[in-house]
Amino acid sequence: MKRRTFLLAGLGATGALLLGWGLLPPRQRLRSRRGLPTTGGQVALNGWVKVAPDGTVTIIVPKAEMGQGVLTAVAMLLAEELEVDWQTVKVEHAPVDAIYNNIAAMIDGLPFHPDDTGRVKRTARWMAAKWIREFGFMNTGGSSSVTDLWEPMRDAGAMAREAFRAAAAAQWEVPAASCRVERGAVLLNERRLGFGELVGTVLEHVPSEWTRKDLSQYTLIGRPQVRLDAASKANGTAVFGLDAAPPDAKYAAVVLPPTLGATVAGYDEAAAKGRPGVRAVVPLAGGVFGHVPGVAVVADTWWHASQALEALAVRWTPGEGAGFSSTAAAADLEARATRGDGRAFKSTGDVIAAFKRASFSVEGFYAVPYVTHAAMEPVNCTVRVAPDGVDVWVGTQVPGIAVKAVAAVVGVEPETIRLHQQLLGGAFGRRLIVDFVAMAAEIAKGVPGTAVQLLWSREQDLQHGIFRPMVRAKLVGALDGDGKLLALQSASASQSMVQGWGTRIGDPIMANIPDKTTIEGLVDQPYEIPSLRVIHDTVELPVPVGSWRSVGHSYTAFFLESFLDECAAVRQVDPVQYRLGLLGDHPRAKAVLTLAAEKAGWGTPLAPPAAGGRVGRGVALHWSFNAYVAHVVEVEVSPENALRVRRVVVAIDCGLVVNPDGVRQQVESGVLFGLSAALHGEITFEQGAARQRNFNDYPVVRLAAAPVIETHLIMPGDGPPGGVGEVAVPGIAPAVANALFAAGAGRVRSLPIRLAAPEATS
């Protein structure tokens, strides 16, 4: 009884502490734990901004720049509040610190519908924000960067602005309210003090309270700005991961497993060491943060290292995945989706009753393959293990996890690791995985005191990547006599991206949590369907899977938007009008769909095709990452059934627009990325190995095949900034597929799109 009393008392105390902690407001995100490093007389006003005596303002950005323009967009938030001259702004990557943890991405991952405004959702978001602030991690993903930093960056800028105002007022012995701040200076009548002139005293005047500017006062946000990284990328001075060149660096090439799960049985070390320029051969045990086993050669140049790999003559022990076939796995996924006995992620209304009273039913079976990221810069990482600490030069979306991976491999405390964040030559989710960072650390550990740069070849980058899962889905709808959708049931099957990621980083919660991303895009759309049931069967396969640009939305939009087009066709209703009829009380969704249709000339005749060809328009609407996007696509099909996408019109409502040019660039990028996957993207496995090796058999859309892309923004936008980087990807595949149906080329239900031969079409 005493023990029971003690346990109950302990649990009660723990519950009380947890409740008390939950009621407290989230901790501040303004001051970093260690403070920012400063040079040349700089002062750090908080964890986000430093000012130098010459007036240069350095803004700290905790997000990875991988082409999406985040350095510029995020800097604009702080610069707007600080009232600084944009020409004096510089940016630096942030150190690893809890104030930079990505709260928005994790909150968006909670299993709530966007329309839900109830107390349960508010409480869950509140608690999640507090937890992630303390125990989360820095990351760039989920189209969340501007959303996540919308509050802290503006607060940091406003705090710094008021500090400079107060410092100048104290020097002039006047009330701070009588002074104004403009373009990096404090003004009072004819008197002027630049920020640089005030750095000696400004820290004495950092306020505890401040007021953010009103939207009507913005002079920077909402106006096109030239990207801060544009000049360096144009003149070649931008430093990417591959450009990291510590003194006396050596270079590593690796032999990776020929089949899934294979391990090293032996190799000829002496033969490889005898090759020109070779300095060391390092065996790789792997197993840390998803890092696969293999053998590395370290040499004076990467060319020397790669040329010595063949001499290793590595012998392999096959693993459980040696016989894996994506064709056989696809058949199993199809059977699972057909049975529909997976986990019910959402169930509203009475689907069974709706089908009993329906006048019509529509059924569609959809398929997407494994795809990979194919970023232009293959994965790479440079590491030096030395007595005074460990240095890591890498472009990563998760710097804190990268540090943990290196610490685990080298056997040091994470605090002793100096991470130098580099620009990324593309990522699309691949650099959320730190397998290559762990591999680089293991190689560098084998040659202590030497900086070693690991680079995977293009073939390795494609064949040994972290893939988007292969998915099969069956959608069935019940329609009344007027064609209204009464009920929809979706049953799908695939691997889990989140569980795969959690397994690789050693997070038991993420490795076992029900994965919302498998069905996102089906359960959270603005369509008002009375009865909805969404089922997913999560399977385990030996192929490593993870996030790919727009994650689950990248395929669920294809399923749902293709299916809705099929429903409209069955009832012979215009596809745009059919969707508008399902949107009910969703004005933002209606607005983007209407705008895209209007700008595309929906309902007007298309420009005639080449002799004997056919043309068609298709539409898709999708909500993802807090943005509504509508695509209207024009296609042309030749007499030989060759497809050309002629024009893509996109309307987007992503909330408040920070940099309009940046949004347009990301829409164009998303359209081309999604179009590449829709037309070409497919990784197949036979006998445990990926068959595609390079851009000759994993092509992307080239300039000559790129369509005209028109982007129309709803400005200034409703509410705070939403996502941009991924939101134009999901809708392009279904819009193309629907346009092909309109052109008489048949219904497309699987990706990549492969049109039937002319004889079959007839």
pLDDT tens column, 497-528 = 999 988 888 888 888 888 999 999 999 999 99
Question: Please, which residues have CB within 8 angstroms of residue 214's CB and are 6 or more apart in sequence?
Answer: none
Q: Exposed, middle or buried: residue 608 (CB in 10 Å: 0-12, 13-18, 19+)?
A: exposed
Question: In this model, does residue 1 exceed pLDDT 50?
Answer: no
Looking at residue 612, its pLDDT comes to 85
Q: How confident is the model at residue 761 (pLDDT cuts 50, 70, 90)?
A: very low
Q: What does the pLDDT average to over 538-566?
A: 97
Question: In this model, does residue 75 exceed pLDDT 70?
Answer: yes
d(CA 145, CA 617): 34
d(CA 170, CA 176): 8
What percent of the chain lies above the pLDDT cut of 70?
A: 96
d(CA 517, CA 540): 16
Question: In this model, does residue 702 exceed pLDDT 90?
Answer: yes
Q: What does the pLDDT average to over 74-100?
A: 96
Question: In this model, does residue 440 exceed pLDDT 70?
Answer: yes
Q: What does the pLDDT average to over 445-473?
A: 97
d(CA 132, CA 552): 23
Tell me whether strands 89-93 and 57-61 are parallel, antiparallel or unpaired: parallel
Side-by-side strand order, sheet with 360-368: 343-348, 531-538, 485-494, 471-479, 360-368
Q: How confident is the model at residue 17 (pLDDT cuts 50, 70, 90)?
A: very low
Q: What does the pLDDT average to over 137-143?
A: 94
Q: Which tokens sit at 78?
A: 């702080």
Question: What angle, 0 to 180 degrees and rounded to 10, lies between the N-to-C axes of helices 70-82 and 145-172?
Answer: 30
Tell me whether strands 278-284 and 294-299 are parallel, antiparallel or unpaired: antiparallel
Nearest alpha-carbon partner for 89 in 226, 294, 255? 226
Residue 540 is inside which H or E element, if any? none
Looking at residue 592, its pLDDT comes to 98
The mean pLDDT value of the chain amounts to 94
Question: In this model, does residue 11 exceed pLDDT 50?
Answer: no
d(CA 689, CA 322): 8
Q: What does the pLDDT average to over 565-587?
A: 96
Among 257-266, 495-504, 567-576, the least confident range: 495-504
Looking at residue 6, its pLDDT comes to 44
